[in-house]
């Protein structure tokens, strides 16, 4: 009995398919007739098309929306990078304008505090013991890299070279700076505010800037750049932006927390800054005097 029922269901299923195919073929005849079977076939096909159209259309719309969102995200990342590059460039332009004004008054100046050349390099490793403090780059003394050269990205300064081998160099990041690695700095567009980057607050991921000027005018949002007076780093390299200000434990000196301009945890491509300071030979008149 079960075998007979299964055969019966199979026969009914095959007959149904034959009938549907016949109706569709009949409806597609070129005589233009519109019989009841033809109308039924058209309606059946249209019903299936309408049922399938909505989910397929929804999937297509969703896929298109995801693609559009991805393009917008990529464009946004590119625009953010370009905006940061423009910001860094604006600081350099400000420094160049100041130097040009000084050069007009001193026509015999051969070099300035901002004179430097850069060497592109790639980060190839991070120190296993000091992961957040040191990185290794693929350029060394054979490429012109020397100790104490500043290292920066397109966004700003990240550290300095502390060891130069023949083909590679070790870079001490700003996050590893302390009393032995200080940076002479000024507040951009206000040379009266000068001080030292003398440490790193690891809890807040911010640099510590001690104001050494007499009349403190520190404000949040001000940019901090290298002063060029420390004898190591050239002038005008962007370090970061002041995020908060407080007094030291004695209440005498202002301490500013500086948000680094560059992401110290994500460094891939860098520029080694080669500061060219020319030594001026004294003239015979100077020696006699």
- For the chain, the structural domain boundaries read 1-110, 116-275
Q: Which of 136, 132, 180 is nearest to 272 (CA)?
A: 136
- pLDDT value, residue 258: 93
User: Residue 76 is inside which H or E element, if any?
Assistant: helix 36-105
225 Cβ partners below 8 Å, 6+ apart?
91, 95, 185, 186, 187, 188, 235, 236, 237, 238, 239
C-alpha 76 chain-centroid distance: 12
- pLDDT value, residue 279: 37
- Residues facing residue 273 across a β-bridge: 118, 150
In this structure, what are the phi and psi dihedrals at residue 165, rounded to the nearest 5 degrees? -85, -170
Asked if CATH classification 3.40.50.300 holds for the domain at 116-275, the reply, yes or no, is no
The dihedral through the CA atoms of 220, 82, 90, 236 has a sign that is positive
Rounded CA separation 204/183 (Å) = 19
- pLDDT value, residue 73: 77
pLDDT in tens, the chain (289 residues): 555 556 677 777 777 777 766 666 655 554 545 555 555 555 565 655 565 556 666 676 667 677 777 787 777 777 777 777 666 667 777 777 677 666 666 555 445 555 678 899 999 988 766 777 889 999 999 999 999 899 999 899 999 999 999 999 999 998 888 777 888 888 876 777 888 888 888 888 899 998 887 666 788 888 999 888 877 788 888 999 999 988 877 777 788 899 999 988 888 999 999 876 443 344 444 444 3
123 Cβ partners below 8 Å, 6+ apart?
135, 136, 137, 267, 268, 269, 270
Structure tokens at 272: 């080694």
Q: Which of 280, 276, 287, 277 is nearest to 117 (CA)?
A: 276
**Burial of 205: CB neighbours in 10 Å, binned 0-12, 13-18, 19+:** middle
Q: What is the number of residues in the chain? A: 289
**Burial of 228: CB neighbours in 10 Å, binned 0-12, 13-18, 19+:** buried
- pLDDT value, residue 246: 87
Rounded CA separation 158/264 (Å) = 6
The dihedral through the CA atoms of 96, 99, 104, 106 has a sign that is negative
């Amino acid at each position: 009995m079960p075998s007979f029922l299964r055969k019966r269901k199979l026969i009914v299923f095959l007959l149904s398919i034959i009938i549907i195919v016949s109706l569709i073929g009949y409806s597609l005849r070129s005589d233009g007739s519109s019989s009841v079977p033809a109308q039924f076939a058209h309606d059946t096909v249209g019903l299936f098309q309408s049922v399938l159209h909505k989910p397929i259309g929804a999937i297509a719309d969703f896929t298109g929306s995801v693609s559009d969102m991805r393009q917008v995200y990529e464009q946004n990342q590119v625009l953010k990078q370009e905006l940061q590059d423009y910001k860094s460039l604006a600081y350099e332009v400000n420094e160049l304008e100041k130097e040009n004004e000084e050069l007009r008054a001193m026509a015999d100046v051969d070099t300035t505090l901002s004179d430097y050349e850069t060497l592109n390099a790639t980060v190839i490793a991070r120190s296993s013991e000091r992961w957040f403090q040191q990185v290794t780059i693929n350029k060394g003394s054979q490429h012109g890299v020397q100790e104490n050269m500043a290292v920066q990205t397109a966004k700003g300064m990240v550290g300095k070279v502390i060891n130069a081998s023949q083909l590679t160099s070790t870079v001490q990041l700003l996050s590893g700076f302390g009393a032995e690695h200080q940076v002479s700095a000024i507040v951009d567009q206000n040379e009266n505010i000068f001080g030292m980057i003398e440490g790193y607050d690891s809890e807040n991921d911010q640099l510590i800037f001690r104001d050494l000027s007499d009349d403190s005018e520190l404000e949040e949002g001000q940019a901090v750049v290298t002063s060029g007076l420390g004898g190591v780093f050239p002038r005008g390299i962007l370090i970061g932006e002041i995020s908060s200000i407080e007094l030291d434990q004695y209440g005498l000196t202002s301490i500013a927390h500086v948000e680094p301009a560059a992401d110290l945890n994500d460094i891939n491509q860098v520029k080694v800054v080669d500061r060219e300071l020319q030594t001026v030979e004294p003239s015979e008149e100077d020696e006699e005097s």
